[in-house]
Homo-oligomer: A and B are copies of this chain.
């Protein structure tokens, strides 16, 4: 638990500096800098001598000092919920690729859906002077970032919008996707449809619930309270919710799962159920095709790519007003969403 920043000195284990290289090569400090950075104005012969000294000493430029001098870190930060979630892996990778194309590295941190941890992480990244910040919000108040943004940290929100501040955001169409998915079930004859989602304080979860209600209302169908789960990704609670909806006097004949975590558990729960139950889930997951699960797919990589591109456009000096970009979703019919209603 010891905080690594508070340890006794170790001075990089006495690494050679440009000064050492200069001494060894018998040239001036700045000449070494020129060679290292490929700046013009150095004779081939001098350059050779410097390169040789660099080789021998095993010199590597200290980017910390460089950053201090130049004011740019060539680093961007990504605050997401959980890198282990298969939805965020590809997103992060996409951000990384864009960053790489711009010569930047990526630091990412997981908030574990905890607003305090999100803030702590984001501010730690700012202290390191990342040039830009991409945030998948856990909290719903991002005013703490205002000083940073004013100070020049480009900031883009992904997957969920920022709270209480005006900033770029790149989102999937949660509302539309959920509405389409539920409408799909309705089109296949379902009238009693259950919704199992995540905590409604999460923006996407709330939007998907809204989409569910909209689809039901569009079709003139009532929604019973018992058809909407309290909202949780905990497998036990999801299982309970499924069981109860299916055991009710007027059981649901179809389910809509609000995200990948929930969907996985619902699929498992339904596998144990005697009667076939229709299912549409939000998010595509690996092997869902083999299991025949109909899903509303969103493109995690596209979210990441779009956000990162926007970020770097800003870093390149673009001075547009903050904007909200919404990416569409795709319904992939694979069987589970096309099961007709079964009598109780």
Given A3-B103, A84-B89, A129-B12, A287-B315 contact (CB < 8 Å): no
Task: List the one stretch of A55-63, A167-175, A176-184, A251-259 in contact with chain B.
Answer: A55-63
Instruction: Output the nearest chain B residue to A12 by Cβ-Cβ distance.
Output: B71
Q: Cβ of B96 and Cβ of A105 under 8 Å apart?
A: no
Contact pattern, A 68-101, Cβ under 8 Å of B = 1, otherwise 0: 1011111100000011111011101110100011
Task: List the one stretch of A199-207, A225-233, A264-272, A331-339 in contact with chain B.
Answer: A264-272
- For residue A164, CB closer than 8 A to chain B, the reply is no
For A286, the chain B residues whose CB sits under 8 A away are 86, 264, 285-287
- For residue A275, CB closer than 8 A to chain B, the reply is no
Task: List the one stretch of A43-51, A145-153, A188-196, A214-222 in contact with chain B.
Answer: A145-153
For A72, the chain B residues whose CB sits under 8 A away are 4-5, 7, 10
A285 CA / B9 CA spacing, docked (Å): 44
Q: Cβ of B1 and Cβ of A101 under 8 Å apart?
A: yes
Q: Cβ of B285 and Cβ of A271 under 8 Å apart?
A: no
Q: Cβ of A4 and Cβ of B74 under 8 Å apart?
A: yes
Q: Cβ of B84 and Cβ of A105 under 8 Å apart?
A: no
Closest 5 CB pairs between A and B? Answer: A13-B152, A58-B147, A3-B103, A84-B93, A89-B89
- For residue A306, CB closer than 8 A to chain B, the reply is no
A343 CA / B309 CA spacing, docked (Å): 56
Q: Cβ of B70 and Cβ of A68 under 8 Å apart?
A: no
Work out how many copies of this chain go into the complex.
Answer: 2
Q: Cβ of B88 and Cβ of A4 under 8 Å apart?
A: no
- For residue A247, CB closer than 8 A to chain B, the reply is no
Given A64-B128, A105-B107, A152-B10, A287-B316 contact (CB < 8 Å): no
* Size category, A interface: 35 or more
Chain A positions within 8 Å of B, measured between CB atoms, are 1-7, 9-15, 58, 60-68, 70-75, 82-86, 88-90, 92-94, 96, 100-110, 123-129, 131, 147-148, 150-152, 264, 267-268, 271, 285-291, 301, 312, 315-316
Q: List 29 A-B contacts (CB under 8 A).
A: A2-B102, A3-B74, A3-B102, A4-B102, A4-B103, A4-B131, A5-B72, A7-B315, A9-B70, A60-B123, A62-B68, A63-B127, A63-B128, A65-B68, A68-B68, A82-B93, A83-B89, A83-B92, A83-B93, A84-B90, A84-B94, A85-B89, A86-B86, A89-B89, A96-B108, A100-B109, A105-B109, A106-B107, A267-B287
For A3, the chain B residues whose CB sits under 8 A away are 74, 102-103
A6 CA / B5 CA spacing, docked (Å): 29
Question: Chain B CB within 10 Å — which of A127, A264, A288 has the most?
Answer: A127
Measured CB to CB, the closest approach of chain B to A310, in angstroms, equals 15
Q: Cβ of B64 and Cβ of A67 under 8 Å apart?
A: yes
Given A71-B12, A286-B287, A151-B4 contact (CB < 8 Å): no
